[in-house]
């Protein structure tokens, strides 16, 4: 694990905390923030969480080869990285991408999200996520740091899918 790049990823993500939309993904309080988001391929009809992760990794790595692996959907991003030579797993690491998926009564749903792991605390991870409100709804969207569980057997709620690490497999 490259601690320097992991710390850089967390520092970049922390700079985005409290950046805000006005409401419902359509307008921004900060014109500069809208420009940054559009610069990584985001569109007003798309979810922002995966694009926020791409923005952070693009800034940290300063390389283009990882960009095609990102998708506007967090689950698609997960599957793209799993098929690549980037390492993925179930153990959290600071600076890694955390992917979660919604479950209801043990059945996986289409709802998912992603964030940057900023800290590990017992059976939880602190993650920095885009497009969530402090209440968890879709109004007054904001980039926040949130505590997420690491319960892979959760029957209902947001279950971790896994982590995308900051290094590639050695071939």
What is the span of the domain harbouring residue 13? 3-168
Q: How many domains does the chain have?
A: 1
> Quick check: pTM over 0.95?
no
Stated as kind and residue range, the H or E segment containing 40 is none
pLDDT digits (tens, 9 = 90+) for 74-128: 999 999 999 999 999 999 999 999 999 999 999 999 888 899 999 999 999 999 9
CATH number at residue 56: 3.90.1720.10
pLDDT digits (tens, 9 = 90+) for 95-106: 999 999 999 999
pLDDT digits (tens, 9 = 90+) for 24-64: 444 445 666 666 666 766 666 666 677 788 888 888 988 76
- β-strands 142-149, 124-132 pairing: antiparallel
How far apart are alpha carbons 123 and 34 in whole angstroms? 35
124-129 long-range contacts, CB within 8 A, separation 24+ = 124/148, 124/149, 124/150, 125/92, 125/98, 125/150, 127/98, 128/10, 128/13, 128/14, 128/16, 128/17, 129/49, 129/52
């Amino acid at each position: 694990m490259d601690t320097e790049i992991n710390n850089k990823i967390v520092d970049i993500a922390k700079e985005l905390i409290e950046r805000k939309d006005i409401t419902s993904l359509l307008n921004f309080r900060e014109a500069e923030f809208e420009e940054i988001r559009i610069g990584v391929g985001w569109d007003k009809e798309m979810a922002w969480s995966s694009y926020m992760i791409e923005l952070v990794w693009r800034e940290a790595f300063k390389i283009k080869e990882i960009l095609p692996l990102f998708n506007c959907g967090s689950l698609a991003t997960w599957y793209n990285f799993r098929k690549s030579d980037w390492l993925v797993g179930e153990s959290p690491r600071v600076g890694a991408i955390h992917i979660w998926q919604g479950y209801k009564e043990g059945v996986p749903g289409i709802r998912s999200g992603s964030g940057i792991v900023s800290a590990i605390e017992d059976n939880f991870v602190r993650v920095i996520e885009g497009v969530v409100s402090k209440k968890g709804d879709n109004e007054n969207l904001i980039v926040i740091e949130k505590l997420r569980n690491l319960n892979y057997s959760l029957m209902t709620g947001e279950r971790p899918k896994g982590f995308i690490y900051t290094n590639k497999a050695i071939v």
